[in-house]
Chain A
Amino acid sequence: MSIWEYANPKKFIATTTPVLPWVMWAAAVTLVVGLVWGFFFTPDDYRQGSTVKIFYLHVPAAMMAINIWVMMLVTSLIWLIRRHHVSALAAKAAGPIGIVMTLIALFTGAVWGQPIWGTWWVWDPRLTSFLILFLFYLGYMALWTAIEDDDTAADLTSVLCIVGSVFAVLSRYAVNFWNQGLHQGASLSLDAEENVADVFWYPALVCIAGFILLFVALVILRTHTEIRLRRARALETRMRA
Chain B
Amino acid sequence: MMPDLGKYVVEVLSAYAVSIVLLLGLVWVSVRAARKARETLAAVEARKEKRDG
Contacts and interface: CB of A to CB of B under 8 A. Distances in A.
A82 interface: no
Interface string B19-53: 10011011101110110011011001101100100
A101 B10 CA distance: 21
Interface residues of A, number: 39
A112 B15 contact: yes
B3 to A, nearest CB: 6
A54 B15 contact: yes
Q: At the interface, is chain A mostly helix, strand, loop or mixed?
A: helix
A222 B51 contact: no
A218 B27 contact: yes
Contacts of B14: 111
B3 A39 contact: yes
A229 B35 CA distance: 11
Interface in A182-241: 214, 218, 221-222, 224-226, 228-229, 231-232, 235-236, 238-239
A75 to B, nearest CB: 18
B34 A225 contact: yes
A104 B22 contact: yes
Interface in A44-60: 44, 49-51, 53-54, 57-58
A222 B22 CA distance: 17
B16 A231 contact: no
Contact of B48 (A112, A225, A228, A235): A235
A214 B18 contact: no
B11 A114 contact: yes
B40 A228 contact: yes
B17 to A, nearest CB: 10
Interface of A: 31, 35, 39-40, 44, 49-51, 53-54, 57-58, 61, 96-97, 100, 103-104, 107-108, 111-112, 114-115, 214, 218, 221-222, 224-226, 228-229, 231-232, 235-236, 238-239
Given A54-B15, A224-B34, A228-B38, 12 more contacts: A39-B16, A49-B6, A49-B7, A53-B3, A53-B5, A57-B15, A108-B19, A112-B11, A218-B27, A221-B34, A235-B44, A239-B44
Interface of B: 1, 3-9, 11-12, 14-16, 18-19, 22-23, 25-27, 29-31, 33-34, 37-38, 40-41, 44-45, 47-48, 51
